[in-house]
């Protein structure tokens, strides 16, 4: 069996490529093929650490019945795309996620997800073939909670996705900001610096000292609007670290829980927003993203900024609160 490497599949190790191409093959079997010299690139024996280039021919010597057993099954269950495109080029896709949509599939929901919507969109464009057993799967470089709306970045080829994931992990060459409505009147600007720890069983995140397993978590913010009558603040917050539920826990612990947060929020305030505005989710929106000075495949995106406006429901709430304030 031969695989010809496309540009979307280049810049990854050959063993990782084969793990995708032969999805059902045990990892031990894949490494055994390398030990037995049953994997060649461009007709020559290769090591597992070889980095593939566009146009490389990967030859796998495998019995036909095993090949069919190990091939990747169809991944895509078609779903109607429901997102706005903020930016797109040959390497990345930046979309505006709606509330109520998962980014990735879970045991509870495997069909209606943002990734499946993006894959359906790219399939229609001819940029993704779910039946190609060696094909790269365009994927998000980060996540948002189901009930958080806003900016999500996807990598459209392996090299771009790998670079995006690295940027989100290291966080020193990107700026990511959120817009949130919180209880109380916050300071004009501030810093929240409390370590966080997630309970793997309950999925609840709590402020926890580092010597008891907490991980460093830092948020900085600026107050954008004050609604004195309602005792609420519209805040723009920047994540300096990327912990699970970081903004939700940090603001709740600082006595300014996010409106509508049904896990860490003010339940009496949440009920008020349900009754008055029919609002049943957290007021949290990924509104701004910026690349700083970049190197490599995404260097052309250096200093580029991307914005997402508040969804209509949140925008109408702010307008209503503002009218009450005047």
| Phi and psi torsions of 46, nearest 5° | -140, 160
Q: CA angle at residue 209 from 207 to 212, to 5 degrees?
A: 115
Beta strands at 196-198 and 205-207: parallel, antiparallel or unpaired: antiparallel
Closest CA to 230 of 97, 94, 303, 326: 326
How far apart, in whole angstroms, are the C-alpha atoms of residue 120 and residue 110?
14
Catalytic residue ranges: 145
**Tokens standing for residue 28:** 């031990």
Output the CA–CA distances (angstroms, integers) from residue 213 to 60, 90, 149, 202, 243, in the order listed: 45, 41, 30, 16, 13
Sort strands 174-183 and 149-155 into parallel, antiparallel or unpaired.
unpaired
Crossing angle of helices 27-35 and 14-21, rounded to 10°: 130
State both tokens at 127: 């940029």
């Amino acid at each position: 069996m031969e695989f010809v490497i496309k540009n979307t599949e280049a810049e990854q190790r050959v063993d990782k490529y084969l793990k995708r191409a032969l999805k059902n093959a045990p990892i031990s079997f894949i490494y055994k093929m390398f030990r037995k010299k049953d994997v060649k690139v461009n007709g020559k024996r290769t090591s597992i650490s070889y980095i593939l280039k566009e146009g490389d021919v990967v030859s796998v010597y495998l019995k036909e019945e095993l090949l069919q057993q190990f091939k990747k099954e169809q991944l895509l269950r078609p779903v109607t795309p429901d997102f706005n495109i903020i930016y797109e080029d040959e390497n990345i896709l930046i979309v505006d996620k709606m509330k109520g949509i998962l980014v990735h599939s879970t045991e509870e929901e495997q069909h209606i997800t943002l990734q499946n919507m993006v894959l359906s969109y790219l399939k229609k464009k001819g940029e993704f073939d779910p039946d190609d057993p060696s094909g790269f799967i365009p994927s998000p470089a980060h996540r948002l909670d189901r009930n958080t709306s806003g900016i999500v970045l996807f990598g459209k080829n392996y090299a771009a996705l790998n670079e995006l994931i690295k940027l989100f992990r290291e966080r020193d060459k990107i700026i990511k900001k959120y817009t949130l409505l919180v209880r109380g009147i916050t300071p004009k600007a501030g810093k929240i610096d409390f370590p966080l720890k997630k309970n793997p069983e309950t999925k609840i995140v709590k402020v926890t000292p580092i010597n008891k397993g907490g991980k460093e978590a830092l948020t900085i913010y600026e107050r954008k609007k004050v609604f004195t009558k309602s005792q609420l603040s519209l805040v723009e917050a920047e994540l300096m670290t990327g912990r699970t539920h970081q903004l939700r826990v940090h603001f709740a612990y600082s006595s300014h829980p996010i409106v509508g947060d049904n896990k860490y929020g003010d339940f009496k305030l949440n009920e008020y927003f349900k009754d008055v505005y029919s609002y049943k989710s957290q007021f949290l929106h990924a509104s701004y993203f910026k690349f700083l000075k970049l190197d490599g495949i995404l260097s052309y995106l250096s200093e580029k900024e991307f914005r997402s406006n508040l969804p209509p429901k949140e925008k109408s709430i702010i307008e209503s609160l503002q009218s009450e304030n005047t």
